[in-house]
Amino acid sequence: MTTAIDSSTQQRIDRWLNGNYDADTKSAIRQMMEGDTTADLIDSFYRDLEFGTGGLRGVIGVGSNRMNRYTVGAATQGLANYLNATFQGEDISVAIAHDSRRMSPEFARLVADIFSANNIKVYLFTSLRPTPELSFAIRQLGCQSGIVVTASHNPPEYNGYKVYWNDGGQVVAPHDKNIIEEVNKITSVDDIKFEGVPEKIQMIDEEIDAPYVERIKTNAVNPDVIARQSDLNIVYTPIHGTGITMVPRTLEALGFTNVHIVDEQATPDGNFPTVKSPNPEERAAMKLALDLAQSLNADLVMATDPDSDRVGAGARNHHGEFELLNGNQMASLIIYYLLNAWKEAGKLTGKEFVAKTIVTTDLIDRMCERYGVTCYNTLTGFKYIASVIRELEGQEQFIGGGEESYGYLIGDFVRDKDAIASCAIIAELTASAKDKGLSLFDMLMEMYQENGFYYEALVSLTKKGKSGAEEIQQMMADFRANPPKEIAGSPVIRIDDYKQLTRTDIGNEVTVPIEAGKMGIESSNVLQFFTADGTKVSARPSGTEPKIKFYVSVREPLASKEAFDETYEQLKAKVQRVIDDMNLK
């Protein structure tokens, strides 16, 4: 033994060894105890796996700090208790889906058994399905809640689950905190009802798949364009995830006939054998798709993450090279296309809106303003966008929205980012560009010419350990005590402090409150600095990782497509000046 085990960790180990846990679990604990190092043992038991505001996430394995039948069971029992208390006297039902990760089917079945044992009706998908389809199923079936077993694009050793409420959105206040309280009350394995009631579990698949695809088809704004460009050359990869179940089917239903799947990544596999990380934000994860697109001279390449809520896309740029668009660019293009299409169709009445997060490009705000469409800005996290849609239901019509981290939503029948519907609209807008003799990248440049060239960069600083956490807090305290007066040569004219919920106009020395409690805004440790030349810097410590993130946005006019490269280099240099000026390192 190389490291001493503290008393609280030892108490958890003893509780598992002496409690009503299965023999295999106890045997695995003893093997860890008899090994050469206690590191794994300590990491497995030094705390209880935290049930956060969105649900669970952790490494699969034995122990109180791991994803296993007991930690998943305790979380589910707590949620079941909350549902039974909240909806007393009602027939309660939940929908459950899972992704392609290791143990996902087993965890989904376990969750179904526990809900059914608590007299809750369960709709369980027969096999893996995308996260957005789970959101759709909740609304379609009239459920009070839902669970999707997934760890998104985390490494293969992880799994987790996300909790949804009856509107199809991830849980928000007050339910998120209330659920956590109920979960924390489950202090013994004996509190968990593991014995399922089969007659309360109904398997589902096609009765949700078909209407989900039909609703996505209603998002299409130019079916005639799709018909004319049905042979649009598309390459798609699900990166071993759930997208294979729905993306090809949806594209086919829309009328696209020339879709090529990356064979090596088509089979669902929780080990993600062809990539280091199954994250479409990373070019390495899309290498096979890009290689295939190159060989086929494709018009469009798309990749979804394992649970299919995020999508990455790329096309040939003006130099003939395949270029991946970032999340800000793709979100902007989707909104640009939808605003134009809605205007041409005469559908803009003054009661439409778009929603995005405060760290997503202000290009979207600029375009919405031009079209007379309200753009609501929420805190980071798609659950806040969903809450805005819920608050405005029946009053204003949602066009679309998104966030810089590759998540987009079109239409309001799903209440989470939806890579299936996003693939459909990205294919359509690419077809629309081709119909005019343009590429997707040409459309991007046209958007910049009309609205300004916005360029964003993310600086993520990792500060590990207790000292790192203190350093991050000190950085935020320093920014509040001594905010920059200018950034990269331009004076700071406004400061938004979401922790204090204040907005300060520097020139007029006026501070006004940022209204909380609605429209996706609550107190959060985020600072934003705005300069006279349109630069914006957002500082946001991560709530789950030892990181502080700085979102930098700069802009310049784009005179012509020929000026793209020169302007792009100017913007990159400007971002670097911001980084140097604010000492973001």
- The string of DSSP codes covering 195-262 is ---GGGEEEESHHHHHHHHHHHHTT-S-HHHHHHTTT--EEEE-TTSGGGGTHHHHHHHHT---EEE-
**In a 3-state reduction of DSSP, which class is residue 92?**
coil
Q: Name the token pair of 194.
A: 């593991």
- What does the alpha-carbon distance between residue 71 and residue 50 come to, in Å, rounded to a whole number? 9
In 3D space, the residue among 188, 287, 243 whose CA is nearest the CA of residue 420 turns out to be 243
Residues 6+ away with beta carbon under 8 Å from 575: 455, 457, 552, 554
Q: At what angle do helices 23-34 and 7-18 cross, to 10 degrees?
A: 140
Residue recorded with tokens 């996505």 = 216
What is the bridge-based pairing of β-strands 352-357 and 397-403?
parallel
C-beta contacts of 505-512 below 8 A and 24+ residues apart: none
Rounded to a whole number, what is the largest CA-CA distance in the chain? Answer: 73
CA angle 365, 370, 374 (to 5 degrees): 50
Residue among 82, 245, 88 at smallest CA distance from 165:
82
Provide the 3-class DSSP secondary structure of residue 89: coil
Q: Enumerate the β-bridge partners of residue 74.
A: none
Alpha helices in 297-412 (DSSP H): 327-344, 363-371, 382-392
Contact in structure between 270 and 100 (CB atoms under 8 Å): yes
Query: What is the set of active-site residues?
Result: 152
The residues, ordered by sequence, that sit 6+ positions from 550 with a Cβ below 8 Å of its Cβ are: 458, 459, 460, 461, 537, 538, 539, 540, 579, 582, 584
Report which secondary-structure segment, H or E, holds 77. helix 69-86
Strand locations in 416-560, DSSP E?
453-462, 486-487, 490-497, 502-505, 510-513, 527-531, 536-541, 547-556
**Tokens of residue 250, six digits:** 């949806």
Strand pairing class (486-487; 145-149): unpaired
Identify which of 191, 177, 201, 203 has the alpha carbon closest to the alpha carbon of residue 52.
177
List Cβ neighbours of 87 (8 Å cut-off, separation of 6 or more): 144
Task: Give the number of other CB atoms < 10 A from CB of residue 79.
Answer: 29
